[in-house]
């Protein structure tokens, strides 16, 4: 029995998670997968009513769960940033979900690329370090020592700039930081993940020709790990990767990518696979509580109109099942999505005429028909 936390959130998050739960019910009816889901009212309604975002009580209840199934948050009445920082980013930090898993699968006929070659890229984006945390350089020794060195480097930079320019100017800077510990756990996850998919190598994306410090260290550690796992390692610069995703996406399997570049490449990935409605995502801590969600937001423009495409939420449920040790059940959901696309059982965003619930019913029907 798996204990799941269900956080529908706001807007269409609620509508697609309703479908997702019906789908999980259907799966549990015909397989050994079984679950109980506890609903959490985390989101804008509660925030507007009580001022609460993610409370200590929420956290201690969520900690006891096997996984979190999440819809989306966002409400036009709430200032941008409040819900994201107070709920989503806090959740990722508290549960140390250091891997963001984003599969990019060719969902024909939705793929906008001219060449009709099937592809299945699995992006693993590092979720906690790089340019999204704010400190920097490569150092040995203690954290305190690192801080002293960063300050010294900043001072040197300041002096250099002062002597070079006579006029006053404004300056801003951002530092990317990677740690041996952070890179090591990222590499371990990536090689294990690729291995579990029967692949013999992974691709590491970076910009090691320009940002030599951080991505140099990352390459060194990934090389050590490749040897340890007896697997291959290919390097790609991020700019070349952006092009390759358009002209030869079929040549990639598991792709490890640092935080900032991963943010950008996975959005490109979402588009080449068929759009927002087809994207599932996992925020993973392999030893902790992971969270699975569709990549889209709360879509206030269509909320309450039964137009929301629930497929991304179904694909997020697939990832949840796989992560929890039910790969065959996960594959069943994947095939149910293929069945919907092949038979035009889709919502208006994909050119179909069905409502959110009707697509959900079609998915459930497909699953229940798999009963042996
Ligand atoms: P969005 O993803 O909610 O919507 C973008 C566009 O795509 C809209 O026109 C929407 O109608 C359409 N769309 C999205 N998902 C769809 C689906 N399943 N079926 C059919 N059409 C769909 O992004 P937007 O509009 O930028 O943000 C709306 C709110 O969602 C904001 O408050 C934002 O902060 C939040 N958001 C939350 C996320 C999360 O909870 N992880 C992720 C992205 C945005
Ligand atoms: Mg993004």
Residue 170's pLDDT band, with cuts at 50, 70 and 90, is low
Q: Mark whether 183 and 244 lie in a shared domain.
A: yes
**Which CATH number belongs to the domain containing residue 260 in this structure?**
3.40.50
Say if residue 159's pLDDT is above 80: no
> What tens digit of pLDDT does each residue of 259-293 get?
999 999 999 999 999 988 999 999 999 999 999 99
Which of the two residues, 350 and 163, has the higher pLDDT score?
350
Closest-lying ligand to the alpha carbon of 20?
Answer: 1
User: Domain end: 256, 272, 288, which one?
Assistant: 272
- pLDDT for position 302: 96
* Cβ contact 38:4 at 8 Å: yes
Q: Mark whether 233 and 265 lie in a shared domain.
A: yes
Say if residue 197's pLDDT is above 90: yes
Q: Mark whether 309 and 348 lie in a shared domain.
A: yes
Pocket test residue of 40, 299, 301, 313 for ligand 1, highest count of atoms within 8 A of CB: 299
Q: Mark whether 265 and 317 lie in a shared domain.
A: no
Closest-lying ligand to the alpha carbon of 270?
Answer: 2
Which of the two residues, 205 and 145, has the higher pLDDT score?
205
- CA 296 to centroid of ligand 1, rounded, Å: 5
Q: What atom in ligand 1 is closest to the CA of residue 296?
A: 2
Q: Which residue range forms the structural domain that includes residue 356?
A: 1-103+279-372
Mean pLDDT of 42-59: 96
Cα–Cα nearest to 19, from 213, 244, 307: 307
- CA 14 to centroid of ligand 1, rounded, Å: 13
Mean pLDDT of 146-168: 71
Cα–Cα nearest to 25, from 35, 17, 15: 35
Mean pLDDT of the chain: 92
Percentage of the chain surpassing pLDDT 90? 83
Tell me how crowded residue 17 is: count the other CB atoms within 10 A of its CB.
Answer: 26
Mean pLDDT of 108-124: 94
* Rounded CA separation 306/309 (Å): 9
Q: Which letter does DSSP use for residue 88 in this model?
A: I
Q: 280-284 and 99-105: which strand pairing? A: antiparallel
- CA 268 to centroid of ligand 2, rounded, Å: 10
Q: Mark whether 339 and 208 lie in a shared domain.
A: no
**Which CATH number belongs to the domain containing residue 371 in this structure?**
3.40.718.10
Q: Mark whether 117 and 251 lie in a shared domain.
A: yes
Enclosing H/E stretch for 120: strand 120-126
297 lines ligand 1 (CB under 6 A): yes
Three-state secondary structure call for residue 10:
coil
Which of the two residues, 122 and 161, has the higher pLDDT score?
122
Q: Which pTM value belongs to this model?
A: 0.90
Q: Mark whether 223 and 268 lie in a shared domain.
A: yes
* Cβ contact 120:105 at 8 Å: yes
3-state helix, strand and coil shares in percent for the chain, rounded to the nearest 5 = 50, 15, 35
Residue 138's pLDDT band, with cuts at 50, 70 and 90, is low
Mean pLDDT of 107-116: 92
User: Domain end: 213, 240, 272, which one?
Assistant: 272
Q: Mark whether 296 and 341 lie in a shared domain.
A: yes
> What tens digit of pLDDT does each residue of 52-91 get?
999 999 999 999 999 999 999 999 999 988 998 899 989 9
* Cβ contact 20:83 at 8 Å: no
Q: Which letter does DSSP use for residue 218 in this model?
A: H
- 174-177: list long-range contacts, CB under 8 Å, 24+ apart: 174/131, 174/134, 175/131, 175/134, 175/135, 175/136, 175/137, 175/150, 176/129, 176/130, 176/131, 176/136, 176/211, 176/214, 176/258, 176/260, 177/129, 177/130, 177/133, 177/134, 177/135, 177/136, 177/137, 177/214
Q: Mark whether 124 and 262 lie in a shared domain.
A: yes
Three-state secondary structure call for residue 125:
strand
Q: Mark whether 20 and 160 lie in a shared domain.
A: no
- pLDDT for position 171: 59
Residue 136's pLDDT band, with cuts at 50, 70 and 90, is very low
Mean pLDDT of 325-348: 96
Say if residue 135's pLDDT is above 60: no
- pLDDT for position 156: 76
Pocket test residue of 296, 346, 359, 363 for ligand 1, highest count of atoms within 8 A of CB: 296
User: Which residues are within 5 Å of ligand 2 (an ion), measured at CB?
Assistant: 263
Which of the two residues, 117 and 144, has the higher pLDDT score?
117
Q: Mark whether 371 and 344 lie in a shared domain.
A: yes
* Total count of domains within the chain: 3
The owner of tokens 């963001």 is: 100
38 lines ligand 1 (CB under 6 A): no
- CA 229 to centroid of ligand 2, rounded, Å: 31
Q: Mark whether 182 and 194 lie in a shared domain.
A: yes
């Amino acid at each position: 029995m798996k204990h799941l936390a269900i956080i529908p959130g706001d807007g269409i998050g609620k509508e697609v998670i309703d479908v997702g739960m019906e789908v999980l019910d259907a799966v549990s009816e015909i397989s050994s997968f079984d679950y109980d889901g506890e609903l959490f009212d985390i989101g804008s309604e509660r925030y507007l009513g009580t001022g609460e975002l993610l409370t200590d009580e929420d956290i201690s209840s969520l900690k006891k769960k096997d996984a979190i199934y999440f819809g989306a948050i966002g409400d036009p009445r709430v200032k941008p940033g409040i819900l994201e920082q107070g709920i989503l980013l806090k959740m990722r930090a508290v549960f140390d979900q250091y891997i963001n898993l984003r599969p990019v699968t060719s969902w024909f006929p939705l793929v906008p690329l001219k060449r009709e070659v099937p592809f299945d890229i699995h992006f693993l984006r590092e979720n906690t370090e790089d340019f999204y945390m704010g400190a920097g350089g490569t150092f040995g020794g203690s954290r305190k020592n690192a801080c002293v060195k960063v300050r010294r480097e900043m001072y040197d930079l300041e002096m250099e700039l002062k002597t070079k320019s006579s006029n006053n100017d404004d300056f801003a800077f951002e530092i990317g930081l990677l740690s041996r510990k952070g890179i090591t756990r990222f590499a371990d996850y990536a090689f294990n993940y690729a291995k579990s998919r029967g692949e013999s190598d992974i691709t590491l994306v970076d910009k090691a020709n320009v940002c030599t410090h951080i991505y140099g260290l990352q390459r060194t550690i990934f090389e050590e790990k490749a040897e340890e796992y007896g697997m291959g390692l290919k390097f790609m610069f991020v700019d070349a990767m952006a092009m390759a995703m358009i002209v030869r996406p079929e040549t990639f399997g598991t792709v490890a990518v640092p935080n900032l570049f991963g943010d950008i490449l996975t959005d490109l990935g979402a588009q080449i696979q068929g759009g927002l409605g087809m994207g599932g995502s996992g925020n993973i801590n392999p030893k902790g509580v992971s969270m699975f969600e569709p990549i889209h937001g709360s879509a206030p423009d269509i909320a309450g109109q039964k137009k929301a495409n629930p497929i991304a939420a179904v694909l997020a449920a697939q990832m949840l099942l796989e992560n929890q040790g039910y790969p065959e059940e996960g594959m069943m959901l994947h095939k149910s999505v293929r069945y919907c696309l092949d038979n035009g059982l889709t919502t208006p965003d994909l050119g179909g005429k069905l409502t959110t619930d009707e697509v959900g019913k079609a998915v459930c029907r497909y699953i229940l028909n798999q009963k042996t």
